[in-house]
Structure formats: C-alpha cells, structure tokens
C-alpha cells in the first residue's frame, strides 16, 4: 500500500474544511452532521473521521485556526514597517476576517461554547492564540510610544488587549445579525476609538 504523503493528507484536510464551511453556511453549525459532510464531499465517514477524529467540532476549530494563522501572517507582514497602532492592528485583522467565508458561522460556534464544555475548551484555545498575537503587537507599539499610554508599556498592553480584542467579535457579530451593518464605517470608527 503506498504511503500517504503529508501534502496529500493536508490537501484532504483542506478539502474537508472547505466542504464543512459550505455546509455550516447553508445549514448552520448546529444542524450540520457528519452525514451532511459525507454527502457534500463524496468522502466516506471513515475518511472524514480519519482526518478529524473529533468530528465536526475539530473541523471547525481547524478552520478557525487556519484563518487565525493567515491573520497572524497578515499582521507580521504589516509590522515589518514598524510597530502598528492598536487601530491598525485591528483594522489589519478585521480586514482579513472580512475576506473569509467562515465569519457568519463564528457566532453559532460561540453560542455552542456557552453550553458545551468541550467546545468551550476549543474556542478558548483559538481566542488565547488571538489574544497573544494582539498582545504582542500592542506591547510593541506601547514600547515605541510610551508617551501615548498610561503606565508601564507591558502592563498597559496586558490591560487593554482584552478590550482591543473585543472589536473583532463585535464586528463579526454585527455583520452576521444586522442587515444594515456598515463594515467600512466600523473600520473607520476604529481609528476614532483606538489609539492610532
């Protein structure tokens, strides 16, 4: 039997993630089953579980992690010119999130996390990574602009990061549930609210 390469395995995982995102968008996260993924992908349940033993929840976290990794890369590239302000950090991240199809599904996952401890653990892991990424970027800016903050740069970054982080879920939630939500105006207003 030929050995499965890492590239092939990753391509299959990516295929499953893309199919799952499509199902989550049309059926909703809570109403999508492995049977739905089998029907949409043409793969067997064994192929899906072979790549994602944790099933639907693991697939969703893999999709969220992939998006987070892409956003981290966006942020790293933007930071090459120097420290980004908190407004620029969040504008960079939210602009990237806007381009992802998965955005409208996130509030569904957060709702599940409130009532399902195993999903809460997975969601906390993704948020912890995002918080760490934002914290590091905010701390860099605070060290470069100590005259713009109150107190020690590291302590300031620690205090304000949860507030700064909340602008991304705020964007995602409003985009998902408010038909008249103006994403461009939201991004413009970030520069009025956050240090820049």
Average pLDDT over residues 146-156: 94
Checking if the pLDDT of 3 tops 80, the result is no
pLDDT at position 127: 83
The model's pTM? 0.80
Angle between helices 86-98 and 167-177 (to 10 degrees): 30
Residues 85/196, Cβ–Cβ less than 8 Å: yes
Rounded Cα distance between 29 and 151, Å, is: 43
* pLDDT confidence bin for 118, thresholds 50/70/90: confident
Residues 128/173, Cβ–Cβ less than 8 Å: no
Residues 175/97, Cβ–Cβ less than 8 Å: no
- Block residue for tokens 């949860």: 162
Residue 134: name the closest of 173, 100, 169, 98 by CA.
169
Residues 67/126, Cβ–Cβ less than 8 Å: no
Checking if the pLDDT of 64 tops 80, the result is no
Tokens (6 digits) for 90: 């969040």
Phi, psi of 179 (to 5 degrees): -60, -25
* pLDDT confidence bin for 149, thresholds 50/70/90: very high
Tokens (6 digits) for 64: 């969220």
Q: Three-class SS string for 42-74?
A: CCCHHHHHHHCCCHHHHHHHHHHHHHHHHHHHH
């Amino acid at each position: 039997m030929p050995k499965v390469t890492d590239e092939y395995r990753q391509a299959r995982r990516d295929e499953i993630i893309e199919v799952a995102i499509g199902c989550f968008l049309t059926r909703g996260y809570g109403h999508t089953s492995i049977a739905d993924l089998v029907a949409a992908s043409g793969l067997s349940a064994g192929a899906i579980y072979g790549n994602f033993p944790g099933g639907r929840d693991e697939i969703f976290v893999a999709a969220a992690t992939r998006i987070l990794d892409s956003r981290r890369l966006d942020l790293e590239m933007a930071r090459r010119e120097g420290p980004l302000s908190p407004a620029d950090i969040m504008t960079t991240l939210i602009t990237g999130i806007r381009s992802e199809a998965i955005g409208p599904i996130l509030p569904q996952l957060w709702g599940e996390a409130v009532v399902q401890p195993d999903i809460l653990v997975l969601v906390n892991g993704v948020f912890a990574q995002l918080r760490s990424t934002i914290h590091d970027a905010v701390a860099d800016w605070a060290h470069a602009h100590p005259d713009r903050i109150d107190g020690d740069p590291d302590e300031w970054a620690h205090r304000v990061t949860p507030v700064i982080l909340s602008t991304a879920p705020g964007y995602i939630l409003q985009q998902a549930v408010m038909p008249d939500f103006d994403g461009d105006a939201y991004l413009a207003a970030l520069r009025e609210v956050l240090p820049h």
